[in-house]
Structure 1
């Protein structure tokens, strides 16, 4: 036997880049401050899967699907052989490993596609923005999370298999996926390095990363209206974020803003705004004094953009939390608002920078726009008081 090149460079680059992309995407799945990184890695995973599907027909011998086209029955038999310590050594992928590869490719594709759809539905961003409402996207979001978890389990099983087979056959399989070489018979097909393809992959990945983090996240968003810069903790990346641009109305803004901060209609259902306007002569102890024409125009805007329309993630969750027989008149009394703010300390509410639960803009820099995205939220630090 002699040391032979089994895995070409593009296959190895795909393997480790996909592994790092999935690990990074998993670690950045929580928190809007990591969204730019998470989405980038998701798009990268989709591109890598697309490449691997092509390379399964155009790559070197052991990179082609034809060299490891095993069925579930063969994979099960191989597992039984491994358990008995009599498993046959495979220069390329063994039956169980090949099955894991197909499952991982399928799951990665589903995770990527559902991620794009979730981003478009939940955050109204990306290439699928506006394709589905928040209500419609919930099933897709659950599928995304489920497949990501299944993918993690398959990865763990794959790693376990690599360790077991490395011990069983006394060879370092992980190292062979780095060097590309394994001990093989003289008549074993030798892989072509395909260095040019690997360099092209690196160039495309690097170019996409530079475009994404420099242009798409920074320059492009700088030019868009309604920009909100992330106010994440200092030890987290400051990622600029643009929420969905919601309709505005000067008459509504002027009338409501003349007495208090404007609260975007998406924070209450239409029936709440209808009741508020019907009782405007006793609007929390004040007579609004609006004429019929102005009242009708303001009410029309508020009902058209109320929480029932699910224009934002917050609107959807607020509307879903309110019982159908309830008509809250205060945003701070809705179940979702109470749930989201239950852990805020009394000292934060009493801060000179906050003062009131109705001062949404103290923590939400996009409150005036009505989007209330997590990336635009930060509880102010202790207020500085004069000695």
Structure 2
């Protein structure tokens, strides 16, 4: 028996527990932890937007504020997405556990274990990348201090160079520099953990969906193997019908599970994709703007943000493309086997898969986005178009 919580999602569980979003074992402490994390993330976005109140709002300044504020707003949206949908996350895990419990064949268990291993491997790689990115982002503001010890810069010069994210706390920022820096670091750590934990959780579910489609293909191939077809007796007819039925059943469950996954987070995914395009445009513009101003620390910060946004959008759309590819593979498997030699009842069930597969199965978000590599190209192209427009108006 496979326990997906401890075997496939153990690292995801640890990450979600760290920020109070694991859907099981809720307590008062976890409730306090959740409110604290959400409050820290939300307050940082607010303190960035308050800078628009106390400073003269030029186009450059507005773009500078929103280029980072929207990114940190990502964290708030994603955190809130899992917080208010805790019951949906728990339901998804329970459905996935139920599907795994029904798998008895050793080869099928090997398939689902393989995709569970892929889940752990992807989570580990993404977590390591998040740790390195967070460490770089934390080190970036204090890099002038390191240089200051070498170049003998004074404290005011160090602090003026160190603050790359525009905020307004309504206090003396030089006096409370280290408290502001602590708040910024806390947001980066919580935000990176949120982005990694939630993203890899959804990615893990999608990887298991691909595993279900793979099992459906395997069951069709086994049912329509040469040995079974060449010796069709009553026993083999019953066996073929049973295997085709199980193939149709897990194919149906995979599609249903996908629909539940998308419908649970549809609104949040729509916001993330929309803000992703806007944020990508603003940060690409900020890169070119800071290059002209020779502000190297700000350039590095915005390059890191652009890379993370592109990576997040790419992984999201690549996962959606993989679901479509695996669904198509089930259709091609059913189409290419010698279904016409199967018993009549089995032919009717195979026809059900062919009818479902004749229309490409997509991860459709609110009827506006079809999550695929083509969608990633479209979003990137839209971001570049908005950047080009902004850059041309500033010349």
TM-score bin (small chain): under 0.3
The structure with the largest alpha-carbon Rg is 1
Which fold has the larger relative contact order, with Cα–Cα distance below 8 Å and residues 6 or more apart in sequence?
Answer: 2
| TM-score, structure 2 as length reference | 0.26
| TM-score, structure 1 as length reference | 0.27
